[in-house]
A and B are shown apart, each in its own frame.
Chain A
Amino acid sequence: MKTFAILLDRLSYMPSRLGKLELLKNYFRSTPDPDRGYALAALSDAIPVKVPLRRIITELSIDKFDPYLFGLSRDYVGDSAETLALIWPQKETHQTPPPLGEIIATLLPLKTGALASVIGKWMDQCNAVERWALLKFLSGASRVGVSARLAKTALADAFESDIHDIEEMWHGVLPPYLSLFAWLEGKGDKPISSGVPIFKPLMLSNPLEDQLLHSIDISEFAVEWKWDGIRVQFSRAGGVTKLFSRSGDDISTTFPELVTDQNFDGILDGELLVMQNNIVSSFADLQQRLNRKSVTATMLKKFPAHIRLYDALQLDGEDLRELNFDERRVRLESWFEKHQSHHTDLSPILKIKDKAELLNLWSNIREEGIEGLMLKRRATAYLQGRQQGHWYKWKRSPLVADCVLLYAQRGAGKRSSFYSDYTFGAWKDEGGARVLVPVGKAYSGFTDEELRKIDRFVRENTIQKFGPVRSVKPELVFEVAFDAINLSGRHKSGVAMRFPRISRIRWDKPAAEADTLESLLKLVEGREGDNLK
């Protein structure tokens, strides 16, 4: 518990990703089993005991603290677990709280009603940081700025292993991951998982650059639409179906309609979409379904999920990754004939004669749900990770608009002294007067040199300061590039940009000549007039 508390405390204040990795690596190397395994479980939301934290906090505080003072304190701190950790009286004689393994072993057989008093005894043995860490540990270490993916990356780095190997094993091993650590340290065989659905690392693509397009032979590639959804892996074994995100997180509970009534054995690769009457909905609709712990019947009906399959990694126990693309495609198609379901279909292979036809197809992409083309080399096996020369993504050209810088906010980490996050606006006619309304935010697309120049502009043209934010004279025009623009009830302007970034800084352009909200609205449907200018 002691070392875990120090780790969690430092992680929560560490601004840089590299710094967090370093802390985690040291912890995994120097901490014995099973504690490090349970720490890993906490960081990847896989703690094997269910602790209803809110109830525990209530039970622990109700008789011990004046409810009025506790309430005032909680309002001030903004987090119940932290409040309890701080308000808990410090015992004069400092004892040592038990290690994580002992905590789990003690709690596992207990009924929910018996948890609070045991946790309370441990709290007495802790200092304030340890009390906070104990409560965080039991609730899955949320809000310390470490994702499951980051924890797995650190694990791979700590033992000079490959993150892909860990991802592949991940869903076949359980906390405290003794076999996994033994293998990482060279003291045991690679853990083999059978009979449970697992995640296998995805094959990723590279952007297709202009010069490349000239040099490649188009007949060596299969061409597909690039669907505007999220990449998923559909995995089924031992009667259980799982849906994994591109980073290997289990997202099955968010999409119950996809993981029930399936009947196959294999690992498939595809795109998760929302589909209505066979038409792909906007990404905004898909976002309504993402990151939800539970799904309502209304949600299921309004935004039905669908998987458009494009590859097979494994079928009926046979690993297909060594086969080339065409061979895998044949397997996928014959599998699909036998396992049609109304929640899945196949991403079609487009018939392209030559480059002229390909270019024509690409430049006319207008439909919602398609964000470009994919080119996949027919002769290549299914390779894990982002390897050069095999799969290419060719996004349709971005939309651009000239917008005016309105607010600038200081960045984090290395950028903490620079105004690097920008809110920009477009002109709107309001009862005859032209006003600027914010239409988006961007913090990338410029060089360090440009950042220094913009930072100077912000400081010299500040109207007002609001903590880390400054409003600036509306004088600087950014050419903003974005992939799409959707109607949005959450934004005052009524629109939300997808992936906005600064494409050029128009020091030369007067703000009055920037684009209007009206012209942005025209881009929401049909994408007419690819370029605003």
Chain B
Amino acid sequence: MAGVKNFESWIKPQPEGLFCIPGNFYIDPISPVEHAIVTHAHSDHARPGMDAVLATPQTLDIMKIRLGDGAPQRPHPLKLGDNIKIGDVEVSLSPAGHILGSAQVVINYGGKRAVVSGDYKRSNDATCTPFEVVKCDLFVSEATFGLPIFSFGDATQEIRKLLNSVEMFPERTHQVGVYGLGKCQRVISLLRAANYDKPIWLHGAMRATCEYYSRCGIRLGELKPVSEASSKLRGEIVLGPPSALGDLWSRRFEDPVNCLASGWMQVRGRARQRNIELPMVISDHSDWPELLKTIDETGASDLWVTHGREEALVYEAGKRGINAKALSLVGREEEAE
């Protein structure tokens, strides 16, 4: 076990993704491999064409729904909190609070522990298990919103903004751009928590994942496909992928108000670029204070930053006496937040 303190000797960034040598598996690989552990089912982490995949049961279910034939050949479900021995390493999954089924991969080897957190957030989200801090030596973190300008407030305030606007423009359709997995269901759940009881209209692409969330016992209320609407949906709330907002799809609505629920909406230029009239700052990722708090709480001596604005996070961690470096993994999508 010599050299376990040198993490690169047993866990290594490679073109396919992060590779654990003594366990012989990749974490969130971008191209097909034999053995993978997948942190969550977003398409930039859960790619099609894998052979054996270890992940939470929910992540595997969602991969099946979204990837169809591209879903893993040999799925190995592992519940949050359970342990498994793979080769010379011991692996467990811990909640990441990002979307339903999302997990941090905890790897114990030679008395050292590495945690690969995938994407994560610390703020409230009724649609998934909250993030748990795992003490470790090496923490592998994202940095999607890794700049001090990103500090997200309470998401319920943003929902309030939407409902106020619906009240103010009852003759217009509010079309809300949301990422189809995670953000979509979280926004619906937040609307229900704010006592919005009317049916919520969905773009076809979101139907299957919403049905899955409902089957898992997450209360989403009455959802209706836009394709079945017989009117122009005046005064209604419609959820669709961000790319559909300004395109053909949106023509069926009455003078639509373009809304977008994303952490990027904190920057005005981003909202204006996309002709967004009502920006909603709701993120499934950690903001700057959450990233720093989490890194501190893990007690890690080493920090690897996978994707996002890694420059700033590596710099700040370095100032705090942590050995930090950027992995610059390829294939992570910035917009798929």
A-to-B contact residues, CB < 8 Å: 12-15, 65-66, 68-70, 72-73, 76-79, 82-83, 86-87, 90, 128, 132, 410, 412-414, 416-417, 459, 468
Contacts and interface: CB of A to CB of B under 8 A. Distances in A.
Nearest to A414: B255
B251 A72 contact: no
B250 interface: yes
Interface string B258-302: 100000001111011001111100000000000000000000000
Contacts of B311: 72
23 contacts: A13-B272, A69-B315, A72-B147, A72-B312, A73-B147, A76-B147, A76-B309, A77-B149, A77-B267, A77-B269, A78-B269, A79-B269, A83-B149, A86-B149, A86-B267, A87-B148, A412-B275, A413-B275, A414-B255, A416-B258, A417-B246, A459-B248, A468-B246
A464 B126 CA distance: 41
B246 A87 contact: no
A73 B268 contact: no
Contact of B266 (A86, A414, A416, A417): A86
Interface of B: 147-151, 246-248, 250-251, 255, 258, 266-269, 271-272, 275-279, 309, 311-312, 315-316, 319
Contacts of B315: 68-69
B4 to A, nearest CB: 33
B267 A12 contact: no
B262 to A, nearest CB: 14
Nearest to A89: B151
A443 to B, nearest CB: 15
Contacts of B250: 416-417
A410 B311 CA distance: 35
A417 B247 contact: yes
A82 B312 CA distance: 18
Contacts of A413: 275
- Of B148, B150, B266, B275, the most chain A CB neighbours within 10 A belong to B148
A434 B321 CA distance: 63
A414 B275 CA distance: 11
Contacts of B147: 69, 72-73, 76
B271 A13 contact: yes
- Of A72, A410, A414, the most chain B CB neighbours within 10 A belong to A72
Contacts of B279: 13
A13 B278 CA distance: 7
B224 to A, nearest CB: 22
Given A13-B276, A66-B316, 20 more contacts: A13-B278, A15-B277, A68-B315, A69-B147, A69-B312, A73-B312, A76-B149, A76-B267, A77-B269, A79-B268, A82-B267, A83-B149, A86-B149, A86-B266, A87-B148, A90-B151, A128-B151, A410-B246, A416-B246, A416-B275
Contacts of B267: 76-77, 82, 86
A66 B276 CA distance: 32
B134 to A, nearest CB: 27
B246 A82 contact: no
Contacts of A15: 275, 277
B29 to A, nearest CB: 29
A73 to B, nearest CB: 5
A68 B150 CA distance: 16
A469 to B, nearest CB: 13
Given A86-B149, A417-B250, A72 B309 contact: yes
Contacts of B246: 410, 416-417, 468
A12 B268 contact: yes
A128 B149 CA distance: 10
B161 to A, nearest CB: 10
A340 to B, nearest CB: 51
A73 B269 contact: no
Contacts of B149: 73, 76-77, 83, 86-87
B246 to A, nearest CB: 5
Nearest to B253: A417
A459 B251 CA distance: 15
Nearest to B311: A72
- Of A13, A66, A77, A82, the most chain B CB neighbours within 10 A belong to A13
Nearest to A83: B149
A416 B148 CA distance: 33
Nearest first, the 8 closest Cβ-Cβ pairs linking A and B are: A86-B149, A416-B246, A73-B149, A87-B148, A72-B312, A73-B147, A87-B149, A417-B251
A471 to B, nearest CB: 17
A83 B147 CA distance: 11
A86 B251 contact: no
A68 B148 CA distance: 11
A153 B171 CA distance: 26
Nearest to A90: B151
B301 to A, nearest CB: 22
A285 to B, nearest CB: 34
Contacts of B148: 65, 69-70, 73, 87
A409 to B, nearest CB: 11
A79 B268 CA distance: 10
Contacts of A468: 246
A256 B186 CA distance: 60
- Of B246, B266, B269, the most chain A CB neighbours within 10 A belong to B246
B63 to A, nearest CB: 28
B269 A86 contact: no
Contacts of A66: 316, 319
B269 A13 contact: no
A251 B160 CA distance: 44
Contacts of B271: 13
A412 B246 CA distance: 9
A415 B283 CA distance: 29
B22 to A, nearest CB: 37
A26 to B, nearest CB: 11
B271 to A, nearest CB: 6
A12 B272 contact: yes
Nearest to A84: B149
A128 B312 CA distance: 21
B155 to A, nearest CB: 15
A86 to B, nearest CB: 4
Contact of B277 (A14, A86, A90): A14
A128 B157 CA distance: 14
